[in-house]
């Protein structure tokens, strides 16, 4: 019963924030106002759900810099936790199916986020090019989940190359982020939203301006994955 109440309140909160997000998109194309609502939205979800976030490693990053943030992924809550926990202005790459959701999907599509069709490699490549343009023109960091989908076991899956292709083409540093705790609060496939604490660890940015070849990208990919695995606790 408590989970249903939480979900009801989250739906209402999502609708209200989505409406404000759409308004802010049209009156401020710098996305400054949108960035504020993008922090209020996850903050409200965490408050309703009784979830706290503890962050470590913030001293490793510059809050005003532009990065590619690469994180492990094992729960729907990962996105909420990172939206709130990453201090930088943030864009995300999201699957095109979400665009169909009224208000919520519309503001994602019109905002500083990037739609990706994971079934179409050519379209996915164009999405990465759009992400680079957003980073260059708006100075907004991009969040990626290199695993591509949520892990069923909590273990870090194999990484896909897209995020590192973006890093190589953009030249922006990549920051490994390790999430612990979300799988216990909202496991994949479960319909129960538990209280708890989510832990985010920000590692040191890795320069990418020297990434020139496919082999360089693959080596960077394994380096980031190994860093995340070393910090994974659950």
- d(CA 93, CA 36) in angstroms, rounded, equals 19
Per-residue model confidence (pLDDT) at position 57: 97
DSSP 100: G
- Residue 97 DSSP symbol: G
Q: Where are the domains of the chain?
A: 52-231
Q: What is the mean pLDDT of each run of 10 residues along the chain (234 residues)?
A: 84 96 93 93 95 97 95 90 95 85 91 81 81 91 88 81 86 95 78 87 93 88 94 86
So what's the pLDDT on residue 1?
A: 63
Domain 52-231, CATH homologous superfamily name and number: Glycerol-3-phosphate (1)-acyltransferase (3.40.1130.10)
Cα 148 to chain center, whole Å?
Answer: 12
Query: What pLDDT was estimated at residue 51?
Result: 95
d(CA 202, CA 218): 21
Q: What secondary structure does DSSP assign to 209-228, as a single string?
A: TT--SHHHHHHHHHHHHHHH
* The pLDDT value given to residue 190: 65
**159 CB burial (10 A radius; 0-12, 13-18, 19+):** buried
Distances (CA, A) of 169 to 66, 127, 131, 204, 222: 14, 13, 11, 20, 18
């Amino acid at each position: 019963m408590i989970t249903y109440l939480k979900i009801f309140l989250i739906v209402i909160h999502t609708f209200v924030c989505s409406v404000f997000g759409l308004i802010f998109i049209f009156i401020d194309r710098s996305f400054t106002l949108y960035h504020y609502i993008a922090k209020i939205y996850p903050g409200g979800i965490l408050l309703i759900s009784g979830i706290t976030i503890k962050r470590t490693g913030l001293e490793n990053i510059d809050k005003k810099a532009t990065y590619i943030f690469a994180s492990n992924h094992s729960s729907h809550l990962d996105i909420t936790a990172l939206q709130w926990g990453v201090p930088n202005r943030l864009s995300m790459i999201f699957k095109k199916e979400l665009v169909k959701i009224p208000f919520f999907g519309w503001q994602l599509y019109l905002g500083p986020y990037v739609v990706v069709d994971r079934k179409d490699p050519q379209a996915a490549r164009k999405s990465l090019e759009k992400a680079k343009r957003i980073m260059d023109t708006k100075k907004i960091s991009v969040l990626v989940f290199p695993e591509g989908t949520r892990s069923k076991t909590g273990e870090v899956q194999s990484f896909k190359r897209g995020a590192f292709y973006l890093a190589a083409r953009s030249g922006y540093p990549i920051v490994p982020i390790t999430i612990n705790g979300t799988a216990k609060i909202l496991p994949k496939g479960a319909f129960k939203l538990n209280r708890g604490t989510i832990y985010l660890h920000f590692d040191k940015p890795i320069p990418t301006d020297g990434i020139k070849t496919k082999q360089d990208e693959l080596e960077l990919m394994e380096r980031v994955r190994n860093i995340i695995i070393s910090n994974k606790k659950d």
